[in-house]
Chain A
């Protein structure tokens, strides 16, 4: 009963937050100077007739309130509108972008978690040793690198070894067999995923190290040592498991940013994801695309935070409704 009440309260809060985000997304970019029409119409051969035609085509000749009401109505029917730039349904354009982003950011996040846990446990296990200092310093160093800078460095260093951009070899008339395609995507994903991993794993390392040190000082660990259990078993099977609670919260919160966290990396590696789409749509003032991108970004953060809340509630009974 207590759980249901908590879930309902968080659910209502989530719905209200999504509505506010949708509304803000709609008005935010319309409040900025400049419009899609003035942008698109600055081409050779432009004319007042072209500006007018674009204004009518984009529905910008209506009042902002009318546009907003129409946007909400369409949204309730799952219609995100038609891109000003591409003249295609936004939902079609963004669906594949979303899949691509989840693939890249998912791999980056999972890789960062795995590497962060491993290095954090090792650092705590070998506390104050040269390995600990090296490990922790390296984690802090890479954590402080701007992703776009590290991405460019990796691009330059691995030029000719790994693909420089895109998601797969695009110059094939026929689709390759699944496994070849998968290997190709993996090769294209190596550098952007490595960038995400290297810039994120340091955070996990520090949290895990700190939590592990606390756990390794607990009485039950001392008891295990006294019973003669192997050190590795104590560290991995007893201490590490109990040290993971702060990680669960951190990962759950980070998952919310999986979709939006790869914007710069996507742009640098021309990875066709939501980040790249947002960047392009913003520069072109493509309102339906911007709204669609931000809708996905905000809703994913809000929903994943909602799930994180429920997960924490489930795992940690100290959280109160």
Chain B
């Protein structure tokens, strides 16, 4: 499968199954588009007709010093066609999807758990309008995780982690700093246990910043592999969606603290993480605000909400969002040209490495290697399923009781989702978020269609930025 598109002056060809990205001129772009529909002679004839016209021939001249003439056109067409044939033979273009059996074999391995989202506090000191946790309470009661439950969760993780050495624990909420002593105690316990069991705990913290202080920052800088700082961008956008329970805005209180966190972590291993809604479809301006505030690790992501919510993203918003992602991508390219670097999480793409195909096809690991734990120790497939009683899998004291649910999640991948079959983005989103599929379609093997549209656009923008960076490096 090949996906071709034009963006910001670049002609881009993505060979989906190999992940190879090619930036091509107009002639190659046209020939690749015809390659599987017509034979060599037909393509050559069509190209000769098109590029014999002066305005089209000029498109091929580009910056090349060699002057291209109509007489030389036939040889150029042959050369491009031969290159494409060679690329196909080398497995870099028009490759087949050979992974389905491979991933079945991979999935049949014994399930291990490697990551827990610990709901340290089902309570929050903010009342964010879009919160999927319903102001921290997740369709249930306010509660704080005890040390005993947390300790049992870490024991459960170690006991079920098989040979995996790197174990991840995210302190999540609600607002985890409302239960900070337990966070500290669990980190201490984890550090003791990792030595005994030859594991490496990577702790992370997701916070709204209200309770952040110097002591917590010092602790986080010592112990947390990553810190996610929740903030939405411009003050008016943030304060509208992320007020205190009394309605007052939280922006002025948290911004200086977040700037201090970013600097004290040397601008690495953290994210300022915002949510955009239909109230700020001009979210590139929120990213710019983060850049202006000095942040280098930035994530701004679309809200996931049902259509009846006034802030939800609807199908009619998509054209504006597509344009906005383009605007943001062009802004990033401009910044790169000026030597002003920052990272935008949703445009991250590593063409020299990145995840292996097993990772890309097996999904996020929810319900299998990634689980969420409530304050009282119940286990759900992920943080977004917490409170959905049909998805209660077990608890940290007795382990996984609903092995049927684990199997359902284990078998969920891009090949089990009809919508993913012909999607060029399937190796980047891995079939999308199971919770989003469930929320919009009542089952995990579907896909959240609006999210898919945005995901495809982000992949296109991310590749365009890579093309621009490659050009800058020449």
Chains A and B belong together in one complex: no
B residues near A, CB below 8 A? none
